[in-house]
């Protein structure tokens, strides 16, 4: 069994799975979280075929009780957690604030902010037992530019994740735990599959706002995270790394 353990939330597809794969290749035992159990089993099988030690835990990251129970089980099983990647999250839908229901507001905040807080809180006692332990959160350009039409509350939630990252970094530095965030730009994942199929011209136009003239690949997010959790990044904490090909500048 590997002596390094990484927990990745929302890891049954897209960026989360590529992060799990890359960390597995780096020598971690990877623990995938998700709520799509068939996909979870398939992803674990894929990783195991590559010689990566992998497990899957099914729980909803917005459910405080389920998070605490499962993260504690994981930590107790391995005796520690070395890396936590809070990848789970999402847009949740779109709504102008004037018409926004309180239910929708709370759903989006729970999906992006509560999830990162709940999982981090539960993992901290086990991260304290880890080696070169670190947390990686996911924020977004929307955390700075307040999001596109109807995505204002998504921007609010991701802005809060940016601040949560810095607050955790301050609090956990004395324990030697580093906390950073990544802010992916437009990444070519199944997340965009519907618009890619139904409005290919819109999908193609997205690259026009990116300085490097193309969309990012999930592997490029994974490789950045691989660096941030490594000893090569041992003096980096409280930072947010933009992975957007210059998209944040806008052109």
Q: What is the pLDDT of residues 26-61, one digit of tens each?
A: 999 999 999 999 999 999 999 999 999 999 999 999
Q: Cβ–Cβ contacts within 10 Å for residue 89, how many?
A: 26
Q: What is the mean pLDDT of residues 70-81?
A: 98
Question: What Å distances lie between residue 97 and 30, 80, 178, CA to CA?
Answer: 39, 42, 35
Q: What is the pLDDT of residues 187-199, one digit of tens each?
A: 988 767 777 788 8
Q: Where is 86: in which H helix or E strand?
A: strand 83-86
Query: Could you tell me the CA-to-CA distances from 35 to 32, 64, 88 in Å, in that order?
Result: 10, 15, 10
For residue 194, tell me if it sits in a domain. Answer: yes
Half-sphere exposure of 249 (CA within 13 A, CB side): 8
Q: What is the mean pLDDT of the chain?
A: 95
pLDDT band for 251, please (50, 70, 90 cuts): low
Structural domain boundaries, residue 207 = 5-245
Q: Give the separation between CA 233 and CA 237, rounded to whole angstroms.
A: 8
Residue 65 covered by a domain: yes
CA 1 – CA 11 distance, rounded (Å):
21
Residue 158 lies in a domain: yes
Q: Report pLDDT for 2.
A: 58
Mean pLDDT on 140-161: 94
On whether residue 197 sits in a domain, the answer given is yes
Alpha helices (runs of H) in 2-114, residue ranges in sequence order:
14-25, 37-49, 64-78, 102-109
Structural domain contains residue 250: no
The pLDDT of residue 250 = 67
Q: Please state, in angstroms and rounded to a whole number, the distance separating the CA atoms of residues 225 and 117.
A: 19
- What distance in Å separates the CA atoms of residue 54 and residue 28, rounded to the nearest whole number? 9
CATH number of domain containing 227: 3.40.50.720
Longest dimension (CA), the chain: 53
List the catalytic residues.
Answer: 154, 158
Q: What's the mean pLDDT in 55-80?
A: 98
Tell which residue, 242, 175, 233, has the closest CA to residue 212: 242
Q: For position 247, what pLDDT does the model report?
A: 87
Q: How many domains does the chain have?
A: 1
Q: Is the pTM of this model over 0.85?
A: yes
Is 130 contained in some domain? yes
Average pLDDT over residues 70-78: 98
Q: Note whether residue 55 is domain-resident.
A: yes
């Amino acid at each position: 069994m590997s002596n390094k353990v990484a927990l990745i939330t929302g890891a049954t597809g897209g960026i989360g799975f590529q992060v799990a794969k890359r960390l597995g290749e780096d020598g971690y035992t990877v623990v995938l979280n998700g709520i799509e159990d068939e996909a979870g089993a398939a992803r674990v099988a894929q990783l195991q075929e590559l010689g990566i030690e992998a497990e899957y835990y099914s729980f909803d990251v917005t459910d405080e009780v389920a998070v605490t129970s499962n993260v504690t089980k994981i930590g107790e099983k391995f005796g520690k957690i070395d890396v936590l990647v809070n990848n789970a999250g999402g847009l949740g839908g779109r709504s102008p604030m004037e018409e926004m229901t309180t239910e929708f507001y709370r759903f989006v905040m729970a999906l992006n902010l509560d999830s990162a807080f709940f999982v981090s809180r539960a993992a901290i006692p086990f991260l304290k037992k880890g080696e070169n332990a670190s947390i990686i959160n996911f924020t977004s350009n929307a955390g700075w530019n307040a999001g596109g039409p109807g995505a204002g509350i998504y921007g609010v939630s991701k802005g809060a994740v940016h601040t949560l990252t810095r607050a955790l970094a301050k609090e956990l530095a004395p324990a030697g735990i580093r906390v950073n965030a990544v802010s992916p730009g437009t990444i070519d994942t199944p997340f965009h599959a519907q618009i890619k199929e139904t409005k290919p011209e819109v999908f193609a136009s997205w690259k026009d706002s990116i300085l490097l003239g193309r969309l990012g690949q999930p592997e490029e997010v994974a490789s950045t995270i691989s660096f941030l959790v490594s000893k090569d990044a041992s003096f980096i904490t409280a930072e947010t790394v933009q992975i957007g090909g210059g998209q944040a500048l806008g052109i």
